[in-house]
Amino acid sequence: MKQGIKAEDLYRLQFVSDPQISPDGERVAYVAKRINQDKNYESHLYICGLNSGASVQWTNGCHKDFSPRWSPDGKTLAFVSDRSGKNQVWLISSEGGEAVQLTGSTQGAGSPVWSPDGKSLLVTVAVEEEKEEEKALKPLEVTHLKYKADGKGLLNEVYSQLLHINLETKEEVQLTDGAYHHFDAAWSPDGQKIAYCKSRGQGDTISFASDLIVRTMNGKEARINQETGSFTDPVWSADGEHLAFLGQTFEFGSATLGNVYTAEVGSGKVLCLTREFDDHAGDAMVGDMHFGHPSPKPFWSKDGKGIFFIASTEGNASLHYVTMEGEVSQITQQKCHLYGYSMDVESDYAVFAASSPTVPGDLFYASLSNLSEEVRLTDMNEELLSSVSLSQPEEFTFINDEGFTVQNWLLKPPHYTEGCKYPMVLEIHGGPHAMYGNTFFHELQLLAASGYVVLYSNPRGSYGYGQQFVKACMEDYGGGDYRDLMAAVDHVVTHCDFVDPDQLVVTGGSYGGFMTNWIVGHTSRFKAAVTQRSISNWLSFYGVSDIGYYFTKWEIGNHVWEDPEKLWQHSPLRLSSKVETPLLILHGEEDFRCPIEQGEQLFIALKQQGKSVKFVRFPKSDHNLSRNGDPGLRVNRLQYIVSWFDDHLGQAEQGGRLNENIAADRV
């Protein structure tokens, strides 16, 4: 009998991303990421022949190679690698051979973009505004609201600038400057203009606001967007007269749906093509294998009359198409997470990077006119998956008290036996404006393999169900969203006789951690809980989080000085005296999104009252520990979760053992 997946199987999983079709349409370059024998992340470039379906590993070594980009003649791949210490741009022949380092920026370089004639490259380089004369320890003077960022720590005066490199003369010219980040560069078809995105600066209250800029090669700049928002991923039309790009305007704060835009470059006229499309243009899927993959840009159709893009709808990330008149149609129909793609619109085909609950991530090839006959190009996890038993989710929905349809999934243990009863774990996603769905999730499969039925749900506030649904939890954290989650649990224990209603546990991270804290402050129906990278106190979160100063206003409705009582009313810390559920608090020491003081406050309050609580602090770990943290600590984290639930459900049984069928599942 095959075993269920284990925490340590994280070391065996591989993940495929960033497909790039060659100019002749015969090959696709892609990136495969894995954890090596030293338990460090590494990634390498592969090239697959689309006719043969055979892949060849193109780069090697204990380092990270990524962002492959074909030269226009298909003879060279530019890519980014950390093999020399910092990320730099390298070149390698598409016929094989040694890679050659192109950039040597002190702070690193990335994002290579070929000129249409193949004679030069645009890259981004990190540039210090003022170089330090010496490396002596000195104070950090803070004058901006955004002076720190999760995953980066305290920010110094270093900004990403665009650098033009002539490949024949090796001449380098820095095209941009100033205290702004410049990114997502795209060259016009005639090579006379570039489009790129420019941040609004660290002093801006909305830290991820960005503008779309068009610049001529003689230095003349024009801003395309008129509204304030976050605008990214510009792509030129074949005639060079229009730009397609993605963006959102913060109309509903962080709950605003993403949209597809076009701009007429000559006149500056901007149209939002998906204004009537009531779903999110972008990938909102939650998972623990896909973090950090590049966001796929939109693609123009062959006739220039429409644009392909990824959208998140009802638990799936799928390929969509929008006409210049704003008519949207869904192109791919599979229940899956399509997280990357590359198109040859001239030849009418595409290569997709996709995941499903039982496929961590692979490449698929299909004609755009016959997507039902897709061909699988890679099977990177064949060895692992042939030796383990995975669970296939079962979907169900219900209508909540506001008339919204709420989508949910159940994972049964892989060795589920009819007639037996199982404990159930409620998993709550972060965001809250994100989406569970049809993607591979190691943690969920592990819990199922450990003998648990796993319930995961998209309560109000989640992406995938329209603008009204995604903003429905704003200023109501712990209200309707809490009722949706409890209704999902009630539905399962009422309709599924294989779930033991006396053996329920709960966990979640970030917003899911907030909600876990909120749940144990309102009910004792769960026998154990694990809160991860959570929020416990909105009053302190406002000033200590890297996003607290605007996220709190958007989500709870007030700045800290406007109505502190409202922030306190939504703070789980206020409810600590009511907590009866044994609580495990997991937090990263270097989490700047939900800083560790949030976990500290909750632990001290519960411990001081004699509650059952344990606090685990993960060193050198930020908010994304579960997705891209130290591999060993990721495994530790999963082991803590399963052990906490096992121990406390064993106590709840009074006999110290779980049902025999659960033990059998763990063989």
Each residue's pLDDT tens digit, 62-99: 999 999 999 999 999 999 999 999 999 999 999 989 99
* Residue 291, CA atoms < 13 Å, CB-side half-sphere: 14
Confidence (pTM): 0.95
Phi-psi region at 151: left, alpha or beta (left = phi > 0; alpha = psi -120 to 50): left
On average, the pLDDT of the chain sits at: 93
Q: Give the pLDDT band (50/70/90) at residue 202.
A: low
Please give the average per-residue pLDDT across 290-303, as a whole number.
90
CB 304 within 8 A of CB 335: no
Is 162 domain-assigned?
Answer: no
Summarize the confidence of residues 306-331 as an average pLDDT. 97
28 domain residue, yes or no: no
Say if residues 456 and 435 touch (Cβ distance below 8 Å). no
- What distance, in Å, lies between the first and last C-alpha atoms of the chain? 9
Give the tens place of pLDDT for each residue, 205-252: 667 889 999 999 888 999 999 899 999 999 999 999 999 999 999 999
DSSP symbols for 318-329: EEEEEETT--EE
Domain count, the chain: 1
Return d(Cα 352, Cα 337) in angstroms, integer.
10
Q: pLDDT tens across 258-268, in order?
A: 999 999 999 98
Is the separation of the CB atoms in 203 and 144 below 8 Å?
yes
Q: Which residues pair with 508 in a beta bridge?
A: 428, 531
Tell me if 496 is assigned to some domain.
yes
- For 13, residues 6+ apart whose C-beta sits below 8 A from its C-beta are 34, 35, 289, 360, 381, 384, 442
Residue 169 banded pLDDT, cuts 50, 70, 90: very high
User: 156 in a domain, yes or no?
Assistant: no
Report helix, strand and coil shares of the chain as percent, to nearest 5.
20, 35, 45
* Active site (annotated) includes residue 510: yes
For residues 390-418, average pLDDT: 97
- Residue 179, φ and ψ in degrees, nearest 5: -85, 55
CATH classification of the domain holding 442: 3.40.50.1820
Q: Does residue 293 carry a catalytic annotation? A: no
In a domain, 335, yes or no: no
Residues 623-651 pLDDT 10s: 999 999 999 999 999 999 999 999 999 84
Question: 301 in a domain, yes or no?
Answer: no
The pLDDT tens digits of the residues spanning 431-455 come to 999 999 999 999 999 999 999 999 9
Q: What is the pLDDT of residue 205?
A: 65
Give the C-alpha distances (Å, rounded to integers) separating 419 from 51, 416, 496, 653: 49, 9, 11, 19
Spatial neighbors of 105 by CB under 8 A, at least 6 apart, are 86, 88, 125, 126, 163
| Domain enclosing residue 515, as ranges | 391-536+571-665
Cβ distance 51 to 60 under 8 Å?
Answer: no
Contact 391, 445 (CB under 8 A): yes
In-domain check, residue 603:
yes
pLDDT beyond 90 at 336: yes
User: Is pLDDT at 358 greater than 60 in this prediction?
Assistant: yes
Sheet strands (E) in 65-147: 65-70, 76-81, 88-93, 100-101, 109-114, 120-128
Residue 373 counted as domain residue: no
367 pLDDT more than 80: yes
Taking each helix axis from N to C terminus, what angle separates 511-520 and 480-495, rounded to the nearest 10 degrees?
70
pLDDT at res. 369: 85
Q: What is the pLDDT of residue 665?
A: 38
The angle that helices 631-652 and 442-449 make with each other, rounded to 10 degrees, is 40
CA-wise closest residue to 33 among 289, 305, 407: 289
Lowest mean pLDDT among 49-63, 74-88, 319-333, 651-665: 651-665
Which residue blocks in 317-474 are alpha helix, DSSP H? 382-385, 442-449, 467-470
pLDDT in tens, 454-504: 999 999 999 999 999 999 999 999 999 999 999 999 999 999 999 999 999
Classify residue 91 as exposed, middle or buried by CB count within 10 Å of its CB (0-12, 13-18, 19+). middle
Give the Å distances, CA to CA, from 607 to 208, 579, 612: 38, 11, 7
Are the beta carbons of 644 and 637 closer than 8 angstroms? no
Of 621, 623, 626, 648, the active-site residue reads 623
Positive or negative torsion for Cα 282, 153, 196, 207: positive
Beta bridge partners of 310: 319
The β-bridge partners of 388 are 3
How many other CB atoms are found less than 10 A from the CB of residue 248? Answer: 23
Given 55, 237, 356, 510, which residue is catalytic? 510
